[in-house]
Structure 1
Amino acid sequence: MDPGGGTESELSRVNQALKTLSAGNRTLLRASQEQDLLLGMCRVIVNEGGYRLAYVAYAQHDEQKSLPIMAYAIQRDIPEERDFFDHLQLTWADVELGQHAPAIAVRSGEPCIGRSLLTDPGHAPWREVAIRLDYSSLSAFPLPIDGEVVGALLIADSSPDAFDEAEVRLLGELADDLAYGIANLRSRIKRHEAEERIARMALYDSLTGLPNRTMFRSRLQSAIVDGRQKHRPLAVLLLSAMHFHEISDTLGYQQADLLTCSFARQLEDHQREDRFVACVGDAEFALLYPDMDVSQAMRTAQDLIRAFSSPVEVGGLSISVGLCAGIAAFPGHGTDPDSLIRRARMAMFEAKRRGSDSAVFTPELEQQRTNRLALMIDLRRAIEQKALMLYCQPKIDLATRRIRGAEGLVRWQHPAHGMIPAEEFVKIAETSGLITPLTYHVLEAAFQQIYAWHDMGIDQPLSVNLSARDLRDPALIDKLKNLFSTWGTRPDWIQFELTESALMEDPVGALDAIRRIKALGVELFIDDFGIGYSSLSYLHKLPVDAIKIDQSFVMAMPDSAISAAIVQSTIELGHRLDLEVVAEGVETESAWNHLVALGCDTAQGFYMARPMPAEQFRNWQVHYESSLH
């Protein structure tokens, strides 16, 4: 490992903190409203500084000494994460639940630096959530105004080594600047105007002017009481703009804010006398309809979706966005505000998942969510206990029928549910921050297996898959170097496979990552070739050694002339680029013979061998090689 890596890492973090401080100062100069300042500063910390989370919480002097979050920004749009911070209730009281960093910063008036969410007892109530959402360390800075600490700025990071001395000094300056900005804004208006504004912030969304989540919840509570007394139903609709965060990432959050305001104005234009509408998130709106059943709510949702189907003008651009709706009804889907809102959101995300424009809550959705959460917890435990299994599927030379190597595949035998499909738990890992620990576990198992094979005289390379997230992992190269050094692995003993779709998520960043991996001397494969969107010019730049034709084309060859033509063209293209061509999904002798006739190099599939536990590979090899004679 590079002995200078730590210094470079510290310098990088200091540079990021300097960049954040500079961007924060620009936000201070532009902000004219306090809520805009808070939200803008949180976004700067996350977007410019690269931190995992930033939020500002204000200390209330009520009986509970509550510490509500006034604004926050998160690095990834995970529904569970948004739900968590939307409903998180904190206190700064000196009690057991008030031993977290922001509360300590408020009480002491001093920064609380480098607290570990994984070991610190003060954060035990949130440890499980922190693990799931990939938070490792955090720091909190007090916000003093006129001798009184009015709140705290919290910054969290995925790295347990964040917040060194130089970095903390710069972030402390940022917190001081934020406190100054808050004080400066407050000083511009009279006391009664400030009190009015604070009251409005508590009940109205500062961006759209619509009622916010707090007021919607209060109105929903009243409607539930009325509905219970009169034995009448009510419906909650949660509307969300489709692909909003992709638009925000592409055009910037200022244009995204304009889009949210445009939707808000249209909803106000479609206002019905008995309806109540609130803005509860980024381009996300909650609507309350008293005395409405599920079928009426579905028709209403369809009417609204049609009304919003026309392109929207945003910053001089005409954008087709559209809405999707989630529906929950009282009393069948819940009898309290939080349950109805949460279940309407579940239905909304289910509609997005299915690609439909609306969905109604069902108990199965909640059970699926519960099951998925349980699997997420079990998967983390399985990774930590190294309970996942390494399987191998051989790759066979089509011309000689000799073994060319094997692909390493991860399998999970759940103690209660049996074998969990790989695509299911890998997707859970990708959306829960577990993909990096999962990849590291597979890499460690693969290097260990390679050593065992070569100790037994098996001279076959093993290939391992890397995801798009892995390519963005700044620690990946150091991890690989450490494994090569630990096991004495030669570069020709291991190969890496990268899916075409992963490469296209960030072509420039992926190209840089691939070049650094290739510098280790290993062979690289493009997996699932043909189903992504890469251009030939981009493919030509990649320092890869082989392409793997996606199994969907290979399996369809006997029945589809188009698939057969794609396979033939891909083989010819690969050879013209001096690349080895591997065909996946070879399940029949007919497919094998067809590939031989086309001059394909290597085959992989059930026809030769199914994936097998790595420890069985030696016996399979002996039996297979004896069958060739």
Structure 2
Amino acid sequence: MQSSTRLPSDVEALQRLHRALRTLSASNRALLRAEDEDRLYHEFCRIAVEEGGYRLAWVTRAENDEAKTARAIASAGVDEGYLESVQVSWAEDTPLGRGPTGTAIRTGKPSVMQNIQTDPYATPWLETDLAHRFRSFIALPLHVEGVVIGTITIGAPEADAFSDDEVALLTETADDLSFGIETLRLRARHRAAEETIRQMAYFDALTGLPNRLQLHDQLRAAVDVARGANRPFAVLHLQIGSLREITEALGYRESDLLLQEIAGRLCAIEATGNVARAAEDAFVIVLARGDAEAARDHSQRILAALAAPVQLSGLLLDARATIGVTLYPGHGDEPEALLRRAAIANFRARQTGRRYLFYAGGLDTECTHRLELMGELRRAIEGEELRLFCQPKVEIRSGRVSGVEALVRWDHPRLGLIDPGAFIGLAESAGLITPLTYWVLRAALREGYAWHAAGLAVPLAVNLSPHDLRDPLLLDHVSDALATWGAAPDWVAFEITEGALMDDPIGARDRLVALKKLGVELSIDDFGTGYSSLAYLQKLPIDAIKIDQSFVSGMASSEDSSVIVRSTIDMAHNLGLRVVAEGVETRTIAERLGQLGCEAAQGYYISRPMPVAQYPAWSAAFSWAQ
């Protein structure tokens, strides 16, 4: 039989076993209420000391630093300064790692040091532990998701404090705590995932601003508050004017940086409003307490903040924008109506060159009408509602018809004949301009076939838009149309506006080179409005330029216009190009153009646009001398 100095009495054994039970029971109650991992650690330490009756309880975290430190993250029952004076590691090759804490982390099993005065591995801490009246320790590993993350270390003032039964109970406590930590971490991941989903659903990933979905909720709340308080508020729809061009020229990375800079500037001045990203190039600001005057002042502040260019890729990029404004309740009392009408006002601001514009009631009706026409235009292109018109070009010296420009009119079943100025813009907005161009091309070659059969061998010129030049199937469509009618390349010509060339100079040049290889004639239309350089013109495979009618019609009253026309003709001839003047409305202008050396004229003096069916009769009756 062992002496009483080695083994406690049965009463002492039960008392020690009971403290482990109290610790286990109270810890399980704490686990049920736990919401935070750090608080759970501290609560367990408190329970072990205050309810369990142990001298010391501390939780260590196993660091993965070079020293493999076991760092205290929670404790209870420790005299001030004790933990700071104790260094513990879980490295096997150092004395600091051979105590119960390091051994438990390293092995993943409970480690007991029953008497620090006789245990050789207690040497690094012996003096400190004796000074703080500790005699025995147990360290219990915390297993979380299959990894030992640290330990629970418990100290007792007596030697041989931890019997096998007590070790078993405390091990169960540590296992429960490990399960609780796993549960809390799983909950934290779920919350993080839910927050990520919420961020994705309600916030714009690029700018971090509320997106359109959250904006709608904010507007609904703003309407409810404003209605209850009987006060107005304003909605500002801001659109960046140059984003598409920047994206095409520099790429998405630079345009994203521009958007982030603009979002930052907006947030810097928004003390009372909410900023949201409503579309790729659009932001919305809600002024919760804004009337018309406040909205006007705020719009001016925003535009001033965006006036300074943004420096990206060594370039100064334009951050300017337009703003459309709506007011609650004057312009609507529903979120969608306020947003839609603010966008309509913005669209009109861009059309009219205004920096900001308040919504006007008629704009909504006009926009609805435009949307209706967009839908009907697709049907018109696919059906039998488009009509081919033409306008002749005449050589000024000889009076011979040198060609005609193919034009399109829309014979709307309800609205009658619609000029292109009323629907070409719609076609561009709706992505229908290229199908419309191909319709004109096919109709022109069909008519050209009939004309050639009748002995009227003049080319029909078809206009190409910037969208057409970017279409990878352009050459295929031209080749197919020529093959369909057995047409020679000189049956058709193409006119490209100077502005279309400057939208994408390199791409346009490459596409024109490919078109020229087919043998067709190429002209620059509206010359003088697109700011193309002489060096650029030299690189283009063009045959002629058409001087814009704004300069030609002004020759009769403006010497400046005459100088521009004369200089343009001289420049074109130096480059070996023919010149056509459009907008010729009087004989005086036609004669003046002839004196300046202009080869051909087009305009009302010669003929207004006519249905192609009327051209043969017109051609037979036409006389330049009249």
Please give the range of the TM-score, normalised by the shorter of the 2 chains. Answer: 0.5 to 0.7
1:343 to 341, 344, 369: 341
Supply the distance in 2 between the matched residues of 1:229 and 1:371 (Cα, whole angstroms): 35
Q: Which residue of 2 aligns with 1:231?
A: 230
How far apart are 1:556 and its partner, in Å?
Answer: 0.9
- 1:213-228 alignment runs, 5 A limit: 213-228=212-227
Q: Which residue of 2 aligns with 1:212?
A: 211
CA displacement 1:532-574 (0-9 Å, x = unmatched): 2222222122222222222111111111112112222222222
How far apart are 1:415 and its partner, in Å?
Answer: 2.7
Q: TM-score, normalised by structure 2?
A: 0.66
Summarize the Cα distance change of 1:364–1:401 in structure 2 as closer, same or farther, 3 Å threshold.
same
Q: Which residue of 1 aligns with 2:30?
A: none
Q: Which amino acid aligns with 2:556?
A: P
CA displacement 1:9-59 (0-9 Å, x = unmatched): xxxxxxxxxxxxxxxxxxxxxxxxxxxxxxxxxxxxxxxxxxxxxxxxxxx
Runs (5+) with no aligned partner, structure 2: 1-184
Summarize the Cα distance change of 1:386–1:302 in structure 2 as closer, same or farther, 3 Å threshold.
same
Q: Is the 8 A contact 1:413 1:419 kept in 2?
A: yes
Tell me if 1:524 matches 2:510: no
Supply the distance in 2 between the matched residues of 1:204 and 1:196 (Cα, whole angstroms): 11
- For residue 356 of structure 1, give the secondary structure of its aligned residue in structure 2: coil
Supply the distance in 2 between the matched residues of 1:564 and 1:267 (Cα, whole angstroms): 48
Q: Is the 8 A contact 2:234 2:295 kept in 1?
A: yes
Supply the distance in 2 between the matched residues of 1:250 and 1:542 (Cα, whole angstroms): 20
Supply the distance in 2 between the matched residues of 1:315 and 1:586 (Cα, whole angstroms): 46
Q: Which residue of 2 aligns with 1:578?
A: 576
Supply the distance in 2 between the matched residues of 1:526 and 1:370 (Cα, whole angstroms): 35
How far apart are 1:317 and its partner, in Å?
Answer: 6.1
Runs (5+) with no aligned partner, structure 1: 1-185
How far apart are 1:594 and its partner, in Å?
Answer: 0.7
Q: Is the 8 A contact 2:385 2:412 kept in 1?
A: no
CA displacement 1:368-419 (0-9 Å, x = unmatched): 2111111112221111113211112121121111222222111223233233
Q: Which residue of 1 aligns with 2:610?
A: 612
Q: Is the 8 A contact 2:242 2:318 kept in 1?
A: no
2:324 to 316, 323, 326: 326
Q: Is the 8 A contact 1:390 1:445 kept in 2?
A: yes
Summarize the Cα distance change of 1:244–1:621 in structure 2 as closer, same or farther, 3 Å threshold.
closer
Q: Which residue of 2 aligns with 1:94?
A: none
Supply the distance in 1 between the matched residues of 2:206 and 2:477 (Cα, whole angstroms): 44
Q: Which amino acid aligns with 2:341?
A: R
Q: Which residue of 2 aligns with 1:192?
A: 191
Summarize the Cα distance change of 1:428–1:267 in structure 2 as closer, same or farther, 3 Å threshold.
closer
| Range with bigger deviation, 317-326 or 328-337 | 317-326
How far apart are 1:312 and its partner, in Å?
Answer: 4.4
- 1:265-344 alignment runs, 5 A limit: 265-272=264-271, 274-282=272-280, 284-312=282-310, 319-344=317-342
Q: Which residue of 1 aligns with 2:383?
A: 385
CA displacement 1:59-86 (0-9 Å, x = unmatched): xxxxxxxxxxxxxxxxxxxxxxxxxxxx
Supply the distance in 2 between the matched residues of 1:352 and 1:244 (Cα, whole angstroms): 14
Q: Which residue of 2 aligns with 1:74?
A: none
Q: Which residue of 2 aligns with 1:543?
A: 541
Q: Which residue of 2 aligns with 1:375?
A: 373
CA displacement 1:271-305 (0-9 Å, x = unmatched): 43x53333334464322223432233222222332
Q: Which residue of 2 aligns with 1:171?
A: none
Q: Which residue of 2 aligns with 1:162?
A: none
How far apart are 1:194 and its partner, in Å?
Answer: 2.1
Q: Which residue of 2 aligns with 1:507?
A: 505
How far apart are 1:459 and its partner, in Å?
Answer: 2.5
2:470 to 456, 469, 472: 472
Q: Is the 8 A contact 1:515 1:543 kept in 2?
A: yes
2:601 to 594, 600, 603: 603
- For residue 472 of structure 2, give the secondary structure of its aligned residue in structure 1: coil
| Range with bigger deviation, 586-595 or 329-338 | 329-338
1:427 to 409, 425, 428: 425
How far apart are 1:227 and its partner, in Å?
Answer: 2.0
- Please give the root-mean-square deviation of Cα atoms over the aligned residues, in Å: 2.6
Q: Is the 8 A contact 2:326 2:341 kept in 1?
A: yes
1:400 to 398, 401, 411: 398
- Aligned-pair identity (%): 46
Q: Which residue of 1 aligns with 2:149?
A: none
Q: Which amino acid aligns with 2:382?
A: E
Supply the distance in 2 between the matched residues of 1:549 and 1:506 (Cα, whole angstroms): 21
Supply the distance in 1 between the matched residues of 2:409 and 2:609 (Cα, whole angstroms): 10
| Range with bigger deviation, 234-243 or 602-611 | 234-243
Q: Is the 8 A contact 1:258 1:315 kept in 2?
A: no
Q: Which residue of 2 aligns with 1:240?
A: 239
Task: Please identify the structure whose Cα radius of gyration is greater.
Answer: 2
Tell me if 1:484 matches 2:467: no
- 1:59-70 alignment runs, 5 A limit: none
Q: TM-score, normalised by structure 1?
A: 0.65
Summarize the Cα distance change of 1:561–1:432 in structure 2 as closer, same or farther, 3 Å threshold.
same
Supply the distance in 2 between the matched residues of 1:514 and 1:381 (Cα, whole angstroms): 30
How far apart are 1:311 and its partner, in Å?
Answer: 4.1
How far apart are 1:587 and its partner, in Å?
Answer: 0.8
Q: Is the 8 A contact 1:279 1:286 kept in 2?
A: yes
